[in-house]
Amino acid sequence: MAVLAFFVSHWLLCVFFQSFFQHRYSAHRMYTMGPRTERVMHLLTYLVQGSSYLSPKAYAILHREHHAFSDTEKDPHSPHFFTDVFRMMLHTKKRYDDYTEGKGQPEPRFLGGYPEWPLVDDTLRTSWVATLFWVAAYSSFYIAFATSPWQFLLLPIHFLMGPVHGAIVNWCGHKYGYRNFDSTDKSRNTLPVEVLCMGELFQNNHHKYGSSPNFAARKFEVDPTWQVMRVLAKLGVIRIATPQRAVWPEPREAAREAGAARAA
């Protein structure tokens, strides 16, 4: 029971901070916050994601490329260019490593506007001592509380939580589910009640309304990360910076213009 509670809470917290900090803040700047609050959120993201913490800078660059080149050959992780999810993730990892190591040359328009903290993003993220600490910490919990040997099979997922979520969102979100909006990419909404990945699987809504902090568009869709953001905004912790909101059905005028642009 303790192991299951740990697994579920670690899963949800990791994907929440990925969606809240790396995606909606670093890549999209959907909200602002004071410099001290930003540091607290940055540190919390590291502490929660531990051994699989992703550099906000490299994440932001890759993700902006994903929006600009969605489901084309230049997309860093389109499932339509790979035979399986592992090949897609290895390709993504290679480009991510290039950007964290300063070897890749992204287009200038994808640079800037993300939080940078060398101690966390470079020193701690790449430190073997820190990685071993996290691996030992997760393992110790299992050694103390596991009630059956099969539960240890869950441990590698804790070690690689960030890439596991990336694989699910990038693969499923452009392959399985329904579409609310017509678009040139192949994005889909995989789950209408999106608790599993905290709103990240509303890829079709998000590609249509890239600046909307609420990834849900229809009445039955629920975006948990947006619900948390609303509370944080009410409390004054963050300020929502973008007026755009996902609207379904797409207003007729906008739909006509989008159709004409696609046909041109």
Q: With respect to Zn ion, which residue has the nearer C-beta, 80 or 262?
A: 80
Q: With respect to Zn ion, which residue has the nearer C-beta, 49 or 203?
A: 203
Q: For residues 225-239, b (16+ Cβ closer than 10 Å) or e, as one string?
A: bbebbeebeeeeebe
In whole angstroms, how close is the CB of 208 to Zn ion at the nearest point?
11
In whole angstroms, how close is the CB of 259 to Zn ion at the nearest point?
21
- The single-letter code of the amino acid at 171 is W
Task: Candidates 19, 22, 52, 203: give the one binding Zn ion (CB under 5 A).
Answer: 203
78 sits near Zn ion (criterion: CB under 5 A): no
Q: With respect to Zn ion, which residue has the nearer C-beta, 203 or 214?
A: 203
Q: With respect to Zn ion, which residue has the nearer C-beta, 125 or 174?
A: 174
In whole angstroms, how close is the CB of 4 to Zn ion at the nearest point?
30
Stretch touching Zn ion by CB under 5 A, among 41-49, 116-124, 201-209, 218-226: 201-209
Stretch touching Zn ion by CB under 5 A, among 34-42, 99-107, 192-200, 202-210: 202-210
Stretch touching Zn ion by CB under 5 A, among 50-58, 195-203, 216-224, 238-246: 195-203
Q: With respect to Zn ion, which residue has the nearer C-beta, 50 or 173?
A: 173
In whole angstroms, how close is the CB of 200 to Zn ion at the nearest point?
9
Stretch touching Zn ion by CB under 5 A, among 37-45, 72-80, 196-204, 229-237: 196-204
Q: With respect to Zn ion, which residue has the nearer C-beta, 52 or 203?
A: 203
- Residue-wise DSSP of the chain: -HHHHHHHHHHHHHHHHIIIIIIIIIIT--EE--HHHHHHHHHHHHHHHGGG---HHHHHHHHHHHHHTTTSTT-TT-GGG-SSHHHHHHHHHHHHHHHHTT-----GGG-SSS---HIIIIIIHH-HHHHHHHHHHHHHHHHHH-SSGGGGGGHHHHHTHHHHHHHHHHHHTTTSSB-SS--SS---B--SB-TTTTTTTBHHHHHHSTT-S----STT-B-HHHHHHHHHHHTTS-EE-------SSPPHHHHHHHHHHHH-
Which residues ranging from 128 to 187 are in contact with Zn ion (CB under 5 A)? none
Report the interface residues with Zn ion, using CB under 5 A: 203
